[in-house]
A = this chain, B = another copy of it.
Amino acid sequence: MPRPNERSPSALRELTFLRGFTRPAPGSVLVKMGRTTVLCTCCVEPKVPDFLVGKGKGWLTAEYGMLPGSTNTRKPRDKAGKVDGRSVEIQRLIGRSLRAVVDLDKLGERTLWIDCDVLEADGGTRTASITGAFVAAVDAVNSIRALLTVPVSEVLTDSVAAVSVGLVDGEERLDLEYVEDRDADVDMNLVMTGSGKIIEVQGSGEEATFSRKQLDALVDLGEAGIRTITAEQKKVLGNTWPF
């Protein structure tokens, strides 16, 4: 199975960011990774969850959803009383990934609310969400920099980006799109910082297995992809890049 559009196994799809896509949230970024389209907003709430009240520390929480029209077969909305296990997993991942680069002690008693809503799903929605959410978070933190006691670069300690890699027909490929993801033997998501540290690695063979050597090759491929994505984040943020 060759890649769609003759893409090379180690090539990313086209990546674009539209900052300020909507107005109410101080961070609002429409990120597109090929056809995958996610609206990432970041709001700042001047309070923290109960378990943190009075500790002088902030919090970051993330939620993820897919619009019903985002998939080829319409995806029903979550009904009251039902739960989508996949969405729960993804929003926990996005939250952990962003918190790894936020110094919550320096944020003050505030909550950053990250919302990633998928307008079109063509594979890699969770990694595009993380990548876009970081850009939205930079815009949101910048919007309150007058209220902070430290520079933005001390609240955000590093950048964060994510990418998927996978084994398709025995071949290691970067940034799977939907038709590849559906048939992949192994699907891995890698979240890393701009400085090259790993935040999260999740590799899974659904009804399949993989060798240690393949694990190593997939991580190599993902690391290279994240370097490119980080460069794109830096470009779109221009002089608001904090580091």
Contact in complex: A69, B199 (CB < 8 Å)? no
Proximity string of chain A (185-202) to chain B, C-beta cutoff 8 Å, 1 when within and 0 when not: 000000001001111111
Is A172 an interface residue when CB atoms closer than 8 A count as contact?
no
Q: How far is the CA of A92 from the CA of B89 in the complex (A)?
A: 9
Mask, A76-104, CB within 8 Å of B = 1, is: 01111111011011011000100110001
Select the residue from A22, A81, A210 with max chain B CB neighbours within 10 A: A22
Residues 152 to 199 of chain A near chain B (Cβ within 8 Å): 158, 193, 196-199
Nearest to A21 among chain B residues (CB) is B119
Residues of B within 8 Å of A216, CB to CB, are: 216
Q: In the complex the two chains form, is A100's CB within 8 Å of B215's CB?
A: no
Q: How large is the interface on A (under 10, 10 to 19, 20 to 34, 35 or more residues)?
A: 35 or more
- Contact A100-B202, Cβ < 8 Å, known A69-B115, A83-B83, A113-B74: no
Flag whether A72 is at the interface (Cβ < 8 A): yes
**Residue with the highest number of chain B CB atoms closer than 10 Å, among A69, A100, A206, A211:** A69
Determine whether the beta carbon of A205 is less than 8 Å from that of B100.
yes
Chain A interface mostly helix, strand, loop or mixed? mixed
Whether A43 contacts B24 in the complex (CB less than 8 A), given A88-B83, A205-B199, comes out as no
Question: Could you list some 9 contacts between A and B, CB below 8 A?
Answer: A25-B74, A43-B74, A63-B77, A78-B78, A197-B211, A198-B215, A200-B203, A202-B202, A215-B219
Residues of A that sit less than 8 Å from B by CB:
21-25, 28, 35, 37, 39, 41-43, 45, 63, 65, 67-72, 74, 77-83, 85-86, 88-89, 91-92, 96, 99-100, 104, 113, 115, 117, 119-121, 158, 193, 196-212, 215-216, 219, 223
New contact pairs (19) apart from A43-B74, A200-B205, A215-B219, CB-CB < 8 Å: A22-B69, A24-B121, A25-B74, A39-B67, A39-B119, A41-B67, A43-B69, A63-B68, A74-B115, A80-B80, A80-B83, A81-B81, A88-B88, A99-B206, A100-B207, A104-B207, A198-B203, A199-B205, A201-B215
